[in-house]
Amino acid sequence: IPFPHVKIVYILTLDVNYRKKPVPFWMQGMLKAVYGRTYPAVVDGMCSIPERYNRKMERVIELEKEGAVFVIRPENPVTVSRTERDAGKLRKLHGEGYRLAMDRFDEMMRWLHEK
């Protein structure tokens, strides 16, 4: 960590076991066919999102085990889609996140104030 006096808290929206699936081969081909000549770096970036995300999550897990970062994340897989419109499901998920944050608040404050 470049700034030793800085403490990092991650608040994640997905559980510890979640990993993004690779972009399907047919989708990569379609993106390259449509945008590849004009925006090759954008296509490469879009196709590598899952790999980069998964690598970052592995690093967050390592840092958490070392005690270098504090992580708050759902305890169970999230079943609400990112385009969910059911207000009841969204309220329930919000309540779970709020409960988890409150349950871990004292632990986080101790971690933030330790030398």
Q: Which tokens go with 5?
A: 């006096």
Q: Which residues of the chain have pLDDT under 50?
A: none
> Residues 2-17: pLDDT tens digits?
666 789 999 999 999 9
Helix (H) or strand (E) holding 88: helix 87-113
Question: How far apart, in whole angstroms, are the C-alpha atoms of residue 115 and residue 112?
Answer: 8
Question: How far apart, in whole angstroms, are the C-alpha atoms of residue 99 and residue 15?
Answer: 15
Q: Which amino acid is at 71?
A: V
Question: What are the residue ranges spanned by the domains of the chain?
Answer: 8-113
Predicted structure pTM score: 0.83
What is the biggest distance separating any 2 CA atoms in the chain, rounded to whole angstroms?
54
The confidence score (pLDDT) of residue 63 equals 96
